[in-house]
């Protein structure tokens, strides 16, 4: 069942103002978007963003990352450990602010990136099946209520290259890894399964929004 502004819809038709979401019957009530940011249908890869950045670019690396001084241990925002900060900077921020959230910035104030906990909930309360949709590999997450979402295996962008497309998916959460603040919690999957883990925040990854409560 697809829902838009309280109406039942069929298919995935997007405009600049409206985006569809699916009720998977999750305990938290989280409603998941049917497409990635920058995509026109569920199997489209969409755009890639560095964590905390809201526009795309050609080079995804520490030297181009917005919130550091050219190095992963010279952070200038979202840092809880002065060891990783530029001139020992630390601001204590552990979750993306709306102005730095690619989902909010590109889709509007009703949308945001999922938290680490929301990704874990999706994995726990749905059945994950590696499949191909219209020629695109990805993971289908099917809930007990029969509804589902498809996440394409978009790979990731490292420096100027696209890596792993068709074989794996890497999706941002909005949650900083507080033990290693140059890392962020991400959700990743391939044909063998899926998991929540952490990795560097300068790389380009996909964004699948959730609807704000």
94-137 pLDDT tens trace: 999 999 999 999 999 999 999 999 999 999 999 999 999 999 99
**Percent of the chain clearing pLDDT 70 (strictly above):** 92
Q: Decide if 205 contacts 48 (C-beta within 8 A).
A: yes
Predicted local distance difference test score (pLDDT) of residue 18: 82
d(C-alpha 79, C-alpha 75), whole Å: 7
| Residues present in the chain in total | 213
37-53 pLDDT tens trace: 999 999 999 999 999 99
| Beta carbons within 8 Å of 167's beta carbon, 6+ residues apart | 137, 153, 155, 190, 191
pLDDT tier, 4 (very low <50, low <70, confident <90, very high otherwise) = very low
Which pairs with CB-CB distance under 8 Å and at least 24 residues apart come from 157-166? 157/48, 157/60, 157/203, 157/204, 157/205, 158/60, 158/61, 158/203, 158/204, 159/59, 159/60, 159/61, 160/58, 160/59, 160/60, 165/45, 166/136, 166/137
Q: How many CA atoms lie within 13 A of 41 on its CB side?
A: 6
Predicted local distance difference test score (pLDDT) of residue 17: 56
Q: Decide if 139 contacts 123 (C-beta within 8 A).
A: no
Over range 72-82, report the average pLDDT: 97
pLDDT tier, 88 (very low <50, low <70, confident <90, very high otherwise) = very high
175-210 pLDDT tens trace: 999 999 999 999 999 999 999 999 999 999 999 999
Query: Could you tell me the two tokens for 83?
Result: 């060891």
pLDDT tier, 12 (very low <50, low <70, confident <90, very high otherwise) = very low
* Res. 66: pLDDT tops 90: yes
Does pTM top 0.85 for this prediction? yes
């Amino acid at each position: 069942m697809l829902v838009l502004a309280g109406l039942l819809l069929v298919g995935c038709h997007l405009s600049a103002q409206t985006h569809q979401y699916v009720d998977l019957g999750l305990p938290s009530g989280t409603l998941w978007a049917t497409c990635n940011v920058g995509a026109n249908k569920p199997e489209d890869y969409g755009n890639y963003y560095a964590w905390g950045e809201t526009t795309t670019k050609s080079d995804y690396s520490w030297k181009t990352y917005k919130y550091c001084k050219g190095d992963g241990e010279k952070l200038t925002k979202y840092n809880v450990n002065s060891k990783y900060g530029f001139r020992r900077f630390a601001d204590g921020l552990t979750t993306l602010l709306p102005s730095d959230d690619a989902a909010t910035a590109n889709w509007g104030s009703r949308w945001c990136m999922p938290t680490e906990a929301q990704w874990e909930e999706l994995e726990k309360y749905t059945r994950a099946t590696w499949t191909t949709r219209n020629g695109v590999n990805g993971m289908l997450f099917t809930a007990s209520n029969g509804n589902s979402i498809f996440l394409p295996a978009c790979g990731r962008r490292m420096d100027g290259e696209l890596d792993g497309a068709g074989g794996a998916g890497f999706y941002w959460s909005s949650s900083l890894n507080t033990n290693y603040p140059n890392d962020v919690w991400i959700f990743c999957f391939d044909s063998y399964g899926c998991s929540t883990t952490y990795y560097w925040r300068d790389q380009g990854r996909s964004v699948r929004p959730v609807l704000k409560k």
